[in-house]
Amino acid sequence: MDRKIITVEMISDLPEPVQRYMRYTGIVGKPWIDNVWLKQIGKFRQGLEKPWMPMVAEQTYTTNPAGFVWDAKFKTAGVPILRATDRYVNGKGHMFGKLAGVITVFDVQGEKLDQGSMLRYLSEMIWFPIAFLGDNIIWESRDANSAYVTFTDYGKSVRGIMCFDEEGRFTNFTTQRYREMDGDFL
């Protein structure tokens, strides 16, 4: 199977700051990727007044079709207490968590979560920048150090602004996203 190789021509029509970013990442000359796997180890808390919990998570991304599955395990005093998943599959977001493997503490789905999951996928493409060259991405010029980026999947689109420094390093992503507050999305 021949794998598509990323060429200079593939980035030549992108806005200048995005071209700088693509060159900085070193993807030119590299093969297209279909899957990415990450492992995260750290601490997580559910609010400013909540305690930090040790966390280990694994996340898998796919580029065609676009999607991710984040699977995390949380501990308190060394004891596993919560397992949570956050996913974007077939155009749908779904967050699910169980306490001690028995009690469902959250099970969230719906259009507002779909939009949030799409934005998470878009913002996390920085881990696999080749995906920014997909047919489902549209770039538009904004200024010398930023560009608008639109991700379309399953007939829905989300948009944000990606910012880069003079060397091409990614510096910021801004967008509008729903926020969950007391079980409702605002």
pLDDT by residue (tens digit) across 11-70? 999 999 999 999 999 999 999 999 999 999 999 887 889 888 899 999 999 999 999 999
Which H or E run includes 112?
helix 111-124
Q: Name the pLDDT band for 71 (thresholds 50, 70, 90).
A: very high
Q: Name the pLDDT band for 101 (thresholds 50, 70, 90).
A: confident
Model confidence, pTM? 0.91
Total count of residues recorded for the chain: 186
d(CA 17, CA 82) in angstroms, rounded, equals 41
Q: Determine the pLDDT at residue 8.
A: 96
Which class for 15: exposed (0-12), middle (13-18), buried (19 or more C-beta within 10 A)?
Answer: buried
Backbone angles phi, psi at 177, to 5 degrees: -140, 145
* Residue carrying the six token digits 């009690």: 103
Q: For residue 31, how many other CB atoms are within 10 A of its CB?
A: 12
Q: Determine the pLDDT at residue 186.
A: 61
d(CA 152, CA 123) in angstroms, rounded, equals 13
Which class for 78: exposed (0-12), middle (13-18), buried (19 or more C-beta within 10 A)?
Answer: exposed
